[in-house]
Amino acid sequence: MKRVLITGSNRGIGLEFTRQYLESGWHVYATCRRPTEAQSLHMLLELHSRLTIHRLDITQQEDINSLCQELMEVPINILINNAGVYFRKRSVGIDCIHYDNWRRTFEVNTLGPVRITEALLGNIAESTTVRLIVVLSSHMERIAEINEGDSFYYRSSKSALNAAMQGISAEMKEQEIGVLLLHPGAVMTRIGPLKGISTRESVSGMRQIIEGFTMEQTGKFFSYDGEEIPW
Ligand SMILES: NC(=O)c1ccc[n+]([C@@H]2O[C@H](COP(=O)([O-])OP(=O)(O)OC[C@H]3O[C@@H](n4cnc5c(N)ncnc54)[C@H](OP(=O)(O)O)[C@@H]3O)[C@@H](O)[C@H]2O)c1
């Protein structure tokens, strides 16, 4: 049986990844900050015995350590670094930067996925078939496309995430562990826009890219519709 671990799986894109992988027969390790409040995950638990729910705030080393204990020697085929934040309303320009929110954005969006990747590398290396680290990034990180003074925190956190993941992809090549960066599109979630695509459309597209992944694509960045995004 194939196994996938997803961060931020209680809502939005993470919840849809959980639903789709369960429907396809995978074992899903669904992680979230507050499992007892994750009603949508508990509803899925009633339907699927291949779902386990784990507490994980990706900024908390204690949670990461507990997760590693729970999953000791469990092979994981795919890690989906999905959890993220976007303090949009408080990041509107040079005259109103809230440095604590910027720092917090980096903790979650940049350091978080790197911490989880580091912690679960042993589990990924244990698997004998697919070995893949998926990272949810955003086209908003593209410096060439920045033409307005907003979203400093989010854009810079995702740019730094992409740079870090490039380094990790180079390091992991020898072990045949792939790194795939994905832009989910403009998706109607709490982070996303009011008008956009559904989580179902976004995740279906991203799963097709994941399924077709080959090591030649490691370190590359794709949109959910299959188009490669240049660095
Ligand atoms: N939606 C879009 O248009 C869009 C576009 C480009 C990229 N993305 C990326 O896609 C990913 C998923 O976003 P989404 O659209 O599904 O947004 P969402 O509905 O707001 O979901 C964000 C998820 O991240 C979790 N999270 C936040 N901080 C966390 C932490 N410290 N530890 C663990 N989990 C944490 C949230 O958990 P809580 O419920 O506990 O807060 C929630 O499950 C993000 O990385 C985002 O940057 C989204």
Cβ atoms of residues 27 and 2 within 8 Å: yes
The per-residue pLDDT for 89 is 60
Is the distance from CB of 27 to CB of 1 less than 8 angstroms? yes
Q: How far is the CA of 188 from the centre of ligand 1 (A)?
A: 12
Distance CA 16, CA 18 (A): 5
- 228 falls within a domain: no
Q: Is 231 a domain residue? A: no
182 domain-assigned: yes
From ligand 1's centre to the CA of 11, what distance in Å? 8
More confident residue, 226 or 142: 226
Is the minimum distance from the CB of 219 to ligand 1 under 6 angstroms? no
How far, in Å, from the CA of 10 to the mean position of ligand 1?
Answer: 9
Q: Confidence band (pLDDT; 50, 70, 90) for 140?
A: confident
Q: Is 195 in the pocket of ligand 1 (CB under 6 A)?
A: no
For the chain, how many structural domains are there in total? 1
Domain assignment of residue 230, yes or no = no
Ligand 1 pocket check for 117: Cβ under 6 Å:
no
pLDDT band at 148 (very low <50, low <70, confident <90, very high): confident
Q: What does pLDDT average to over the chain? A: 95
CATH code: domain of residue 136 = 3.40.50.720
Q: What pLDDT sits at residue 152?
A: 86
Residue 164 belongs to some domain of the structure: yes
Cβ(84) – ligand 1 distance below 6 Å: yes
* Element spanning 45, H or E: helix 39-47
Q: Give the C-alpha separation, 71 to 90, whole Å.
A: 37
Query: In which band, very low, low, confident or very high, does the pLDDT at 139 lie, cut at 50, 70 and 90?
Result: confident
- Whether 113 lines ligand 1, by a CB cut-off of 6 Å, is no
Give the separation between CA 190 and CA 153, rounded to whole angstroms.
17
Is residue 229 a part of any domain in this protein?
no
Has residue 173 been placed in a domain?
Answer: yes
Ligand 1 atom 47 nearest Cα: 84
pTM confidence score: 0.97
In terms of residue numbers, what domain contains 92? 3-223
pLDDT of 93 > 80? The answer is: no
Please tell me if the CB atom of residue 83 comes closer than 6 angstroms to any atom of ligand 1: yes
Q: Is the CB of 186 under 6 A from ligand 1?
A: yes
The model's pLDDT over 12-47, given as tens digits with 9 standing for 90+, comes to: 999 999 999 999 999 999 999 999 999 999 999 999
Percent of the chain with pLDDT over 70: 98
